[in-house]
Amino acid sequence: MIKIIYDEEQAPEEGLAALFERAAGLAAEREGIGSLDCEVSLFFADTCEMRQMNLEYRGIDAPTDVLSFPMQDNGDGSVVGTAIRQKGDVPCVCNKTQGTSPFCLIAAPTMLGDIVICREIAEGQAAEYGHSEEREIAFLFTHGLLHLLGYDHQTVEEPSHDNTKEPSPCVITNTKEPSPCVMRAAEKEIMEGMGL
């Protein structure tokens, strides 16, 4: 289960919160981590704040639609979500076993990280792609969550997520390697699972 934590002042409207919960549930189910207690924090920022964060953390002096900040890494540059997603040995933090175990019962929820979404940019993208702002924000949340679960696209050009452009052909050779094709497929499956 992936619990979503909101700042009280930024809690989304009920319908949007339900979409976030559904996306988190589908992602957990898809990744086989539904029995683990995980958490993500979700924040909303304006265009100016997103530009500042994008410059500070990615070196890009422009606003962006969504940023993800993994809470921890595995010591090898990958995020905690990668170990969970790959269903390998997850560090045991419950003090009931030593070392690592894929069967460890984690006593405290695993904080995957933070997701920050710019609603202003989402609104513009929704109009550009011809769908609702709610659908766009749900997509951005899904995209950010997948990053926290260890997905990456490692491309300069972001993959298109609208329904009007045909994506480039994908050949997936190793699903554990960062790939825009693997991430795009996960996003599509989750969005379709929500009926969006």
162-175 pLDDT tens trace = 444 444 444 444 44
Helical ranges in the chain per DSSP H: 14-31, 47-58, 80-85, 119-129, 133-148, 180-193
How many alpha carbons lie under 13 Å from residue 109 in its C-beta half-sphere?
A: 15
- How many domains is the chain built from? 1
Q: Considering only 14-28, 54-68, 69-83, 152-166, which range has the smallest mean pLDDT? A: 152-166
DSSP 172: -
The alpha-carbon radius of gyration of the chain (Å, integer) is 17
- CATH number assigned to the domain comprising residue 138: 3.40.390.30
According to the model, what pLDDT value does residue 34 have? 82
147-157 pLDDT tens trace = 999 888 765 34
Q: Considering only 100-104, 126-130, 172-176, which range has the smallest mean pLDDT? A: 172-176
pLDDT, mean of residues 92-119? 66
Identify which of 191, 160, 60, 64 has the alpha carbon closest to the alpha carbon of residue 118: 64
| Res. 113: pLDDT tops 70 | yes
What range defines the domain where residue 100 resides?
2-193
Highest mean pLDDT among 5-14, 67-76, 127-136: 127-136
CA dihedral 195, 178, 28, 192 (to 10 degrees): 10
**At 41, which helix (H) or strand (E)?**
strand 38-45
